[in-house]
Structure 1
Amino acid sequence: MRPAQDFGPDVDLDALPLRERKKFQTGMRIFRTAVALFTERGFDQVSVAEIAAAAEVSKMTVFNYFPTKEDLVMGPMEQHLDEPAQAVRDRAPGTSAVTALREQFLAALERFDPAAGLNDDRIVLDVVRLIHRTPALTARATHGFDRLAHAALAAELLAQDPAHDELTARVATAQLLAVRVALIAANHRRMLAGERAADALPAVLEEARRAFALLEHGLGDYCTRAA
């Protein structure tokens, strides 16, 4: 199972210089401490000063790693917001945007990446619950996704479209990201209901393939009202 530290991009600690490794470990200690306190007492009932004391660092050190209190929960997750755009940017010649995002998402599921929603690590689930239960974090998650992920993907699609059709880029962005959001939300529900990620993986992979197939081939006459 992928460890909870990987809310952010993959990090090979052994490959880091000692100074960078210590910085990463300090950031993870602050993050884990904050999540534990927020889970126990509620996001609004815990101060940054209390987190600093529990993590055995100064309040200034906390802010050096996490500029706002919301960043203590959302910061690591938001490092994934550019991934859909990156999948399009890095795809092989002849690969469609739909295929690129599908393959990126399937790969994330198979390695139990928390960003794909299929991870039953306790800290990962604590973060998901915190976001659901805390209006400020829910708003931050929605706003960040809408503003940053949409803007990044739309810009990448527009840049790579020979026709440079802005409307198509916006519509494609909305559809591509909506599929990801729907799948991630379903995965969160599974994990919060107590399913094990490894047990759920086969069904979740099949759901993801079906969802991207619907996107690729269109809804057509789906749900036509009977005469």
Structure 2
Amino acid sequence: MTDQTRRGGEPATDGGRIGGRQAETGFAEEDGRLTLRERKKLRTRQRISGEATLLFIRRGFDHVTVAEVARAAEVSTMTVFNYFPRKEDLFLDRIPEGRELLTRAVRERGADESPLAALRRLTLGLLAERHPLAGVGEGFEHFWRTVLDSPALRARGREAVEEMEDALAVLLAEAVGGEAGGPGRDVRLAAALIIAGIRAAFAGAAARQLGGDPVDEVAVEQAEVLRRTFDALERALPGFA
């Protein structure tokens, strides 16, 4: 992933990508499981989110209307809302993908793999491939700065964290079956601690990138932070380790 800019240092969009951020959710366009209609819808979704992202980063999220996004993407305002029910989801468009990855990691883990081990594997794997959901990459400071500058985006981010926590609690309950709620098996507490740990690691990486630290250095340190985080979680939550 590269940090592409337009003349004057302005962030650029390339097929929905800004600063290494690919605006898509679900399967990649080249995935053979997608029908022609699904590929067309995905391209439209990417175009809308890509244009929105560029406008938001250039002018600030709160200063851009959905109608302006629609004009830039050459679609109707109704079409924008068909793909993105809320304006905030135009920018934080990977929230559904995050929930899906979380779900698959826990439900499709190996027979001898614990829920915490599966989540450790997921987070470190996303970081290793510089997936946008890892929060570390070239040009990501544009993304983080836009979020921090917008009360609406910060509020949606907090809501997304709560959604992740709720989803994880359900997954952990499934994982331990009838033992949920037993000694050391409080799924609500476990989900809250796990999501809080991951969120803290994210916040640290974001702060370093906003401070101008080299991305490669941030990625190396982030991997170590995540390992320490999951080591601590496994000690605190032996019922899920």
Structure 1 and Structure 2 fold alike (TM over 0.5) = yes
1:75 maps to which of 70, 84, 93: 93
Corresponding residue for residue 149 of structure 1: 164
Corresponding residue for residue 27 of structure 1: 45
Corresponding residue for residue 223 of structure 1: none
1:212 maps to which of 204, 221, 230: 230
Q: CA–CA distance in 2 between the matches of 1:102 and 1:6?
A: 25
User: What's the TM-score, normalizing by structure 2?
Assistant: 0.80
User: What's the TM-score, normalizing by structure 1?
Assistant: 0.84
- Deviation per residue, 1:30-56 (Å, 9 max, x gap): 111111112222222211111111122
- 1:84 CA displacement: 3.0
Moved more, 80-89 or 47-56: 80-89
Corresponding residue for residue 211 of structure 2: 193
Larger helix proportion of the pair: 1
Structure 2 residue identity aligned to 1:193: G
How many equivalent residue pairs? 216
| Residue segments in structure 2 that go unaligned for 5+ positions in a row | 3-19
Confirm or deny that 1:158 pairs with 2:173. Answer: yes
- 1:10 CA displacement: 5.0
Q: CA–CA distance in 1 between the matches of 2:210 and 2:90?
A: 21
SS of the residue aligned with 2:92?
helix
Moved more, 8-17 or 207-216: 8-17
Corresponding residue for residue 225 of structure 1: none
Confirm or deny that 1:133 pairs with 2:157. Answer: no
1:84 maps to which of 88, 96, 102: 102
- Does structure 2 retain, via aligned residues, the 8 Å contact 1:84–1:153? yes
Q: CA–CA distance in 2 between the matches of 1:58 and 1:7?
A: 19
Q: CA–CA distance in 1 between the matches of 2:37 and 2:142?
A: 29
Confirm or deny that 1:5 pairs with 2:28. Answer: no
Corresponding residue for residue 222 of structure 1: none
- Does structure 2 retain, via aligned residues, the 8 Å contact 1:150–1:174? yes
Q: Over aligned residue pairs, what C-alpha RMSD do you find?
A: 2.3
- Does structure 1 retain, via aligned residues, the 8 Å contact 2:49–2:91? yes
Change (3 A) 1:173 1:95: same
Q: CA–CA distance in 2 between the matches of 1:6 and 1:56?
A: 17
Structure 1 residue identity aligned to 2:219: L
- With a CA cutoff of 8 Å and minimum separation of 6, indicate the structure with the bigger relative contact order: 1
- 1:25 CA displacement: 1.7
Structure 1 residue identity aligned to 2:130: F
Change (3 A) 1:135 1:85: same
